[in-house]
Structure formats: structure tokens, C-alpha cells
Structure 1
Amino acid sequence: MKPRPISNWLKTNRFHPDHTYKAALKTLRSAEFVITDTYHLAINAINLGIPTIGIGLYQTEQVNTCADFKKKVLFEDLGIANFYIETQTSDIKESLDRILSNSKSVKNYNLATAENKKEIYAKQLTDTLTLPR
């Protein structure tokens, strides 16, 4: 497998945000799997059905909007907690063995829980937005 950096994920052109986002998604769709510490990249990859390995600092609660606890909850909620790697330090070398181990097991990645939750959400949204006649 070959890595493909998604270079402009956080550098959206304010004059052409749709173009930047669509170009990033096009690159993302070509990935066999994703390794990221970015919450929104993880969500987009998971939504596209791409096996995603998340990385974040160990936290026990969400302390601000940029904190990593929400990533842990996301992976747990979608039934893929074993693909979320928590670390005590921002030094990625500490987690490298776990990342490599998970990247070798992406063939066992199962997004059934995520797909089920997407279907439930879509139905709830449709039911809520459908006006009674």
C-alpha cells in the first residue's frame, strides 16, 4: 500500500472553499486506508467507507473543541474503538508499533455499526423534516 498525503486539508482557500474540499475528497477516495489525528478527516474518511486509524492524546473528558476525547468517543460509538490509538505524548514514535499493527489489520475493518447508525439517522432526519399533509 502506498501512502497518499492529503495536503490541503486544513488550508482551505477562502475564495474557493468548495474546490479545495472537493479536491481533498477526491484524494481521500483513492486511499486504501487513512491514518489521522484530525477529527474531521476521520469523519469524512469513515463516511466514505475508508478504513480509518485515529490517533489522539489520552483524555478522560472533552475540555475544549479541539481536544481529542471526541475522537475516542467517535471511534467507540461507531464500533471501531480498536482502530483508535491513544498516546500519552505528542511523540508519534510512542504509538508507531500500534499504528503499524492496526494498518496491517485494516482488512478486518468493519463499518457495519457506522452504516447502521447512518441509516437510523437518515430515517430520523427524513421523518423529522417530512411535513404532515
Structure 2
Amino acid sequence: MKSLEMAQINYLDEIMKIDEEVIGNNSRREYIMKAIEEERCIVANDYNLIVGFLIYDTHFFDCSFISLIIVRHTERRKGYATSLIKCFINISPTKKIFSSTNKSNHGMQEVFKANGFIQSGFIENLDEGDPEIFYFKSK
């Protein structure tokens, strides 16, 4: 059964497994733990298995910013990222919502487009040779 909910601190290890699978290390553990403690992390569950998560904040010019959307490799293209985004849009504390992804991440670009986000600019020099594309959606 698919469900979405705010992450609980006891989910941290399972969320970290997903993050480590994607980036190859546990360098974001403190960041993710803080997001959970501050109730800024939403998880997607499927039969009591966490399959993905979304982290957001409101420090981007006082607008909501989705900083991470990560879904297990084995669970991609099943609608989890879209479900997480739609859930967040419903609870977003601001009308303006931003996010970003690398120019090389075509899959995430398609997810943003499919969910009504529009390109809003880009920044060079964050990842060498792979500009960051920013996306925007109004609630």
C-alpha cells in the first residue's frame, strides 16, 4: 500500500540507505536528520518500505525550495517522485516553490515538467561542467 507521511526519526537509517545508494556515502546524515526533526522531510512508503523521500526548506528568498527528491533506483518511474511533489505542493508554506537539478539529470527535468514546473534559470560552477537548472511553480 502506497502512503505519504512526514518522516519520523526512527526512519533515519532507512532514508540514509536510499541516500547512500544514490550518492555513495553518508555525508548528508546530519542534514537529513535535522530535516526530519524539523518536519521538513516527507517519505513515500510502499508496504512499510520507504521507497523515497523529499526534503524542503523556506530559506530560498523566503520561498519554498525542494532541496532533495530521492527514490530508490529499483522504484523509479513508478510515480513516487510525482506523489512526493504533489504532497509537498499541498502543504507548502509559501505560494512560490522552487527546486533544481543538474543539466545532466534528464529524468528529474521530466518530472519537474510533468508536474507543472517551468525553468527559471541556471547557475554555472556548482558541479564542474554540469550547470544547475532551477525550476519554479506557483501554488
- What TM-score bracket applies, with the shorter chain setting the length? 0.3 to 0.5
Indicate the structure (1 or 2) with the bigger Cα radius of gyration: 1
